Amino acid sequence: MGYRLTRRSLFSASASTVAVGLAGCASTSPAASAEAIGAFPLDPQSASLFGPEPGLSLLSRNENPYGPASSALEMISASAKKGAYYTNDEATKTLAAMIAERHGVAPEQVVITTGSGEALSALALIYGPKGPIVAPRLFWDTTALYAAKLGMAEIIRIPLTEDMDIDLAGIDAAITPETGMVQLCNPNNPTGIATPGSVIRAAVAKMAEKTTVVVDEAYIELVDDEASMTCVPLIKQGKNVIVTRTFSKIYGMAGIRVGYTISSAETAAAIRSTLMSWTPCTSIAAAIGCYNDTGFLDYSKSKIVEGRQMVTQTLDQLGLSYLKSQTNFVYFQSGLPANDLQKAMAAENISIRGQYMDYTPWSRVSMGKLDDVEKFCKALPRLIKA
Ligand SMILES: Cc1ncc(COP(=O)(O)O)c(C=O)c1O
């Protein structure tokens, strides 16, 4: 551990902080004052409070280790100096206006949230009490489960097709006048499959005649052709559709926590009134800094695609089956139960996802730094033969 945060260090630190204070803070750098209270990672290489443990290949959480962009880091540093103050409305409105401009909607139609998870939780709390949430059997269900645990939602899961696609016709058929909302994820997690834009938009437009449809587009910036795949055009046509997006994936800011929704202005007002947190000024600043940083976005995507090709090449060489992913993760069958492969990988200091529901043969690996992806690719043939 690089952190020395013990009772003793805290007590002696308090004393030294006083001494530092008396000596005059002007000559003390922020790092030195953090070190004086025992909170600073004295050896940053071995620090593990933030980010993966040294030596661990973290390939289980669909993060993007190429972020944050330097354009985001500069804004974090500048805004942190104003951290004594609550986030100004103007900052949030500036980010909303940037997002609105790119998508061709009014700023009132955009809600900034603390990660898209907050937005999806708010939506589950708004629509869950009205009736069941209808969703594919496999989707990113954390927020629907959150509302379900509070007794505020029931989830109706519709089986995937034989090809592990979302069964859009089945979901449509399951909608009744009692349905609270439909929740879709495109591309889907954990399958990684992207439903083509024309297909999903036609289905969602039909569903939205009957109920509210939420489309979680957390990974959409990673697909081959984002513009053709998004459901935002349906919102512009006045359909009852809400799209959620995040800065956690392509922007590489999972720990910084910014997401947003696009919907009608009326729905946006309802979402705003249901949020539980104020997004930190540093997070808003970071998002403003990198939202239009195309150099960083292209770089990030190229690295993720390169990692994905390394993984699929390895799977091809081993003759293993996998789903065609347009995201930063691949869902594949190794021949071992997912939890066994996860355990074997963990013994090699590689973290991948374990089993989802009863999908025993299916494992999910996320793209990380290319060195880490390579470690996974080298370990896999050995571990499946062991
Ligand atoms: C499909 C999907 N949606 C939403 C989220 C939530 O992301 P965040 O709250 O970081 O924006 C995740 C997280 O992994 C996800 O996989």
Q: Is 65 within a domain?
A: no
Query: Both 308 and 250 in a single domain?
Result: no
Q: How far apart are CA 312 and CA 325, in angstroms?
A: 9
Q: Is 55 within a domain?
A: no
Is the CB of residue 114 less than 8 Å from the CB of residue 259? yes
Query: Both 150 and 14 in a single domain?
Result: no
CA 64 / ligand 1 centre spacing (Å): 12
Query: Both 337 and 237 in a single domain?
Result: no
Domain of residue 142, CATH code: 3.40.640.10
Q: What is the pLDDT of residue 28?
A: 55
Ligand 1 atom at shortest distance from the alpha carbon of 189: 1
> Exposed/middle/buried for 7, CB within 10 Å: 0-12, 13-18, 19+?
exposed
Atom 5 in ligand 1: residue holding the nearest Cα:
117
Q: Is 231 within a domain?
A: yes
Query: Both 103 and 249 in a single domain?
Result: yes
Domain of residue 93 covers 70-290
- Other Cβ atoms less than 10 A from the Cβ of 300: the count is 24
Q: Ligand 1 pocket check: which of 114, 246, 257, 328 to mutate, most ligand atoms within 8 Å of Cβ?
A: 246
Query: Both 220 and 131 in a single domain?
Result: yes
Per-residue pLDDT of the chain (386 residues; tens, 9 = 90+): 333 333 333 333 333 333 333 333 444 565 667 667 776 655 655 567 889 988 999 999 999 999 999 999 999 999 999 999 999 999 999 999 999 999 999 999 999 999 999 999 999 999 999 999 999 999 999 999 999 999 999 999 999 999 999 999 999 999 999 999 999 999 999 999 999 999 999 999 999 999 999 999 999 999 999 999 999 999 999 999 999 999 999 999 999 999 999 999 999 999 999 999 999 999 999 999 999 999 999 999 999 999 999 999 999 999 999 999 999 999 999 999 999 999 999 999 999 999 999 999 999 999 999 999 999 999 999 999 97
Residues in contact with ligand 1 by the CB-under-6-Å rule are 62, 115-117, 140, 185, 189, 216, 218, 246, 248, 254, 259
Residue ending a domain, among 255, 272, 290, is 290
Alpha carbon distances (Å) from 34 to 28, 117, 374: 10, 31, 36
Residue ending a domain, among 244, 261, 290, is 290
Q: Is 190 within a domain?
A: yes
Q: Is 98 within a domain?
A: yes
HSE at residue 20, side-chain half, CA atoms within 13 A, is 19
Residue ending a domain, among 246, 264, 290, is 290
Q: Is 57 within a domain?
A: no
Query: Both 274 and 249 in a single domain?
Result: yes
Q: What is the pTM of this model?
A: 0.92
Q: What is the pLDDT of residue 280?
A: 98
Query: Both 123 and 17 in a single domain?
Result: no
Q: Is 97 within a domain?
A: yes
Ligand 1 atom at shortest distance from the alpha carbon of 116: 11
Dihedrals phi, psi of 362, to nearest 5 degrees: -95, 125
Domain of residue 356, CATH code: 3.90.1150.10
Domain count, the chain: 3
| DSSP state letter for 88 | P
Is the CB of residue 330 less than 8 Å from the CB of residue 320? no
Of 30, 31, 42, 60, the residue nearest 5 (C-alpha): 42
Query: Both 26 and 139 in a single domain?
Result: no
Query: Both 203 and 348 in a single domain?
Result: no
Query: Both 13 and 137 in a single domain?
Result: no
Q: Is 101 within a domain?
A: yes
Q: How far apart are CA 91 and CA 325, in angstroms?
A: 35
Q: What is the pLDDT of residue 334?
A: 98
Q: What is the pLDDT of residue 315?
A: 98
Query: Both 240 and 362 in a single domain?
Result: no
Query: Both 117 and 11 in a single domain?
Result: no
